[in-house]
Chains A and B, each alone.
Chain A
């Protein structure tokens, strides 16, 4: 066990000497896919709530398909599937992009997390109290200003608890990246297992690191909620003598 850690700790954490590996790769995958997914999901969430069927129907279909199928199958379709399609194999630009396992993983992850995030944000936008919207309209805000100043700030805050779940879910999902030869934390564990046959230890170290990242994310989001959702917290009553009888 000690030998295993001494030999492989660097690969587990950030580098095997040539590439970004292990924890660093997992975090890079997580940050990149969550950031891109977040940016894409905001316009999609707005379109999802549109009254125009040409806008909301395609978005509904997109989230339905990507939330209804496993990420692993989506990744296989992109990583192994696209390579077999003539038009992509023989287009230099597309092929140079999709030849890399890392690119395929990022495309699959972004599409997947974007679908979940879109539904989370669309739900939050839909739940905006009508008073906030009417107040904005009453002082003559344009639709874009209304979204920018009123609806998005308020609904993104309210979506924070659900969004934090999605980010942790995404952290756990990044482990399928190893099937596309991306050297993430699980790939290091698989390789260490193959090299040492110390199965429990090899996977156990990865599991402990994942657990640590999960706890760190939970703590981080708890602080974020404390800061941005402070106005939704139940009021805390300062210590005061309890009244003997309630006036009724």
Chain B
């Protein structure tokens, strides 16, 4: 077995970039949904709390792959029906951004649970003191609540990110030209599927190991100012 990429290196590299882009951007979407959803789930407004609760329970109870296919294809079908009704041209959703939105929507539910726990771990008095000083709620959240809750949220965020990266490996099933698809093309052209999927596995391993190192650094950074007892 030789270790030559037989000219498919460029294709796989481009695919890696697509996979990384999808994972990172859907992480941003999920992070935003998570923060907003956690606040909604903890709010006194029963409609918001109940809605956020329903969202997290439903989404986390259904496999991500099933949701990806369900959302991706039914939104496209729905859109086709609308454009057909109005006699317009078919609007094709661009696969990469659709994958980002779908993954972000799914993992938002997981982030809500992470952030909800972290929010509750910060003493209530912190937020109350900030509001009592006359800070607007958003500024109090940004300056007081958020930096403190991130310390508790980071282990969960790290875990969600690692699961999200691995789920981003499924987007070729939605027709996205990611690195798994690049490996399939290279593999079937050269009849060396095992080798090319192995290359993809090694790239994933590098991404997950690097993120673990990076998250440890972040964890140390957000723990600044916290005293720990040495045993």
Cβ–Cβ contact A80 & B193, under 8 A: yes
B167 CB-CB contact with A under 8 Å: yes
B56-86 with Cβ < 8 A to chain A: 58, 61-67, 69-70, 73-74, 77-78
B93 CB-CB contact with A under 8 Å: no
B187 CB-CB contact with A under 8 Å: yes
Cβ–Cβ contact B73 & A199, under 8 A: yes
The secondary structure that dominates the B interface is helix
Which of B67, B77, B195 has a CB less than 8 Å from the CB of A207? B67
A211 CB-CB contact with B under 8 Å: yes
**A174 neighbours in B (Cβ, 8 Å):** 63
Return the CB mask of A116-160 against B: 1 if under 8 Å, else 0. Answer: 000000000000000000000000000000000000000000000
Which of B62, B69, B166 has a CB less than 8 Å from the CB of A211? B62
**A81 neighbours in B (Cβ, 8 Å):** 187, 193-195, 197-198
Residue of A nearest to B198 (CB): A77
**A176 neighbours in B (Cβ, 8 Å):** 65, 170
**B21 neighbours in A (Cβ, 8 Å):** none
B200 CB-CB contact with A under 8 Å: yes
Cβ–Cβ contact A175 & B63, under 8 A: yes
Q: How many residues in A have their beta carbons less than 8 Å from beta carbons of B?
A: 39
A53-104 with Cβ < 8 A to chain B: 64-65, 68-74, 76-77, 80-85
Which of A65, A70, A80, A189 has a CB less than 8 Å from the CB of B169? A70
Q: How many residues in B have their beta carbons less than 8 Å from beta carbons of A?
A: 36
Minimum C-beta distance from B214 to chain A (A): 14
The secondary structure that dominates the A interface is helix
Cβ–Cβ contact B70 & A203, under 8 A: yes
Residue of A nearest to B207 (CB): A68
Cβ–Cβ contact A73 & B66, under 8 A: no
**B205 neighbours in A (Cβ, 8 Å):** 64-65, 68-69
Cβ–Cβ contact A210 & B169, under 8 A: no
Cα–Cα, bound, A206→B73 (Å)? 14
A193 CB-CB contact with B under 8 Å: yes
**B204 neighbours in A (Cβ, 8 Å):** 68-70, 73
Minimum C-beta distance from A58 to chain B (A): 16
A47 CB-CB contact with B under 8 Å: no
Minimum C-beta distance from A167 to chain B (A): 13
B129 CB-CB contact with A under 8 Å: no
Name the residue in A171, A189, A211 with the highest tally of chain B Cβ atoms < 10 Å from its Cβ. Answer: A211
**B208 neighbours in A (Cβ, 8 Å):** 68-69
Cα–Cα, bound, A51→B206 (Å)? 27
Residue of A nearest to B70 (CB): A203
**B191 neighbours in A (Cβ, 8 Å):** 84
**B30 neighbours in A (Cβ, 8 Å):** none
**B194 neighbours in A (Cβ, 8 Å):** 77, 80-82, 84-85
Cα–Cα, bound, A84→B195 (Å)? 9
Residue of A nearest to B58 (CB): A211
Cβ–Cβ contact A68 & B209, under 8 A: yes
B33 CB-CB contact with A under 8 Å: no
Q: A73-B197, A84-B192 are in contact. Are A206 and B187 (CB under 8 A)?
A: no
B136-179 with Cβ < 8 A to chain A: 166-167, 169-170, 173
A186 CB-CB contact with B under 8 Å: yes
**A80 neighbours in B (Cβ, 8 Å):** 184, 187, 193-194, 197
Cβ–Cβ contact A73 & B201, under 8 A: yes
**A15 neighbours in B (Cβ, 8 Å):** none
Which of A76, A171, A203 has a CB less than 8 Å from the CB of B180? A76
- 4 closest A-B pairs by beta carbon, nearest first, are A81-B194, A172-B63, A70-B169, A203-B70
Taking beta carbons and an 8 Å cutoff, which residues of A are in contact with B?
Answer: 64-65, 68-74, 76-77, 80-85, 171-176, 179, 186, 189-190, 193, 197, 199-200, 203-204, 206-207, 210-211, 214-215
Offer 13 A-B interface pairs, CB within 8 angstroms, sorted by A: A70-B166, A70-B204, A80-B187, A80-B193, A80-B197, A81-B195, A84-B192, A172-B63, A172-B64, A173-B63, A176-B65, A176-B170, A203-B66
20 more contacts with CB within 8 A, not counting A77-B193, A84-B192, are: A65-B205, A68-B204, A69-B201, A69-B208, A71-B166, A73-B204, A76-B183, A80-B184, A81-B193, A81-B195, A84-B194, A85-B194, A176-B170, A186-B63, A186-B66, A189-B66, A197-B77, A203-B69, A203-B70, A206-B66
